[in-house]
A and B are shown apart, each in its own frame.
Chain A
Amino acid sequence: AQKVTQAQTEISVVEKEDVTLDCVYETRDTTYYLFWYKQPPSGELVFLIRRNSFDEQNEISGRYSWNFQKSTSSFNFTITASQVVDSAVYFCALSEPFSGNTPLVFGKGTRLSVIA
């Protein structure tokens, strides 16, 4: 069964610190997609990244980077030099598009607070 675990419920860091948000997933499919979304205080979920199961290359976008490791079923998200604007709830999600299961399963989210 598909499952996403974000073990860190809340993280608090001081501005300019680096922070890593963990995501561990479970799937029986060989074809799947992993996502990260950001939910700022306004509530809208903002798409950050999508990675398919055949592409294990790490991704960097500005201060954001993602480490996908199939060997440990993890898709971790690192924010470098964190800023107050990074304060939000971050969700990791898993899609198994050909399984007939729920289209997108979310983890419970990690609330990140960046303190000035």
Chain B
Amino acid sequence: SQTIHQWPATLVQPVGSPLSLECTVEGTSNPNLYWYRQAAGRGLQLLFYSVGIGQISSEVPQNLSASRPQDRQFILSSKKLLLSDSGFYLCAWSSGGQGMIDTQYFGPGTRLTVL
């Protein structure tokens, strides 16, 4: 069966510091991968998605970036965090293929607080 991992689970960082959140998927090959952010009390915002190694689509221009160095690894980064980057970051995966038909399954999330 497939599992998705995210770490760290929680993170407290000062403004201006760098960020690296990691997401890995087990039990599947060539998945589509996604990063979402959920601000406190709000809905989910898609940040990035990837259909393959090195292929990243950005949905929202901001100071965050994403990379996919391996088939089942998705990394969310920032060089300098802003207060507005605080939130709950969720990684998701779906089966790869045309049209992104399949269901997205979510990881446990990382709660980021920027002070």
Contact = CB atoms under 8 A, between A and B. Distances in A.
14 contacts: A33-B101, A35-B103, A42-B108, A43-B109, A43-B111, A44-B107, A44-B109, A47-B105, A97-B99, A102-B59, A103-B32, A103-B34, A103-B46, A104-B104
A45 B42 CA distance: 14
Contacts of A33: 101
B43 A103 contact: no
B109 to A, nearest CB: 5
Contacts of B108: 42-44
B100 A103 contact: yes
Contact of A109 (B32, B43, B105): B43
Interface of A: 33, 35, 37, 42-47, 50, 91, 95, 97-98, 102-104, 106-109
Interface string B54-77: 000001000000000000000000
B101 to A, nearest CB: 5
Contact of A103 (B49, B88, B90, B109): B49
Interface of B: 32, 34, 42-44, 46, 49, 59, 88, 90, 92, 94, 99-101, 103-109, 111
Contacts of A102: 46, 59
B106 A44 contact: yes
Nearest to B9: A43
Nearest to B104: A104
A33 to B, nearest CB: 7
B43 A107 contact: yes
B43 A45 contact: no
B90 A45 contact: yes
Contacts of A107: 43
Nearest to A6: B43
Contacts of A35: 103
A35 B111 CA distance: 24
> Which of A91, A103, A104 has most B Cβ within 10 Å?
A103
B88 A97 contact: no
A104 B93 CA distance: 12
A103 B35 CA distance: 12
Contact of B106 (A45, A95, A97, A109): A45
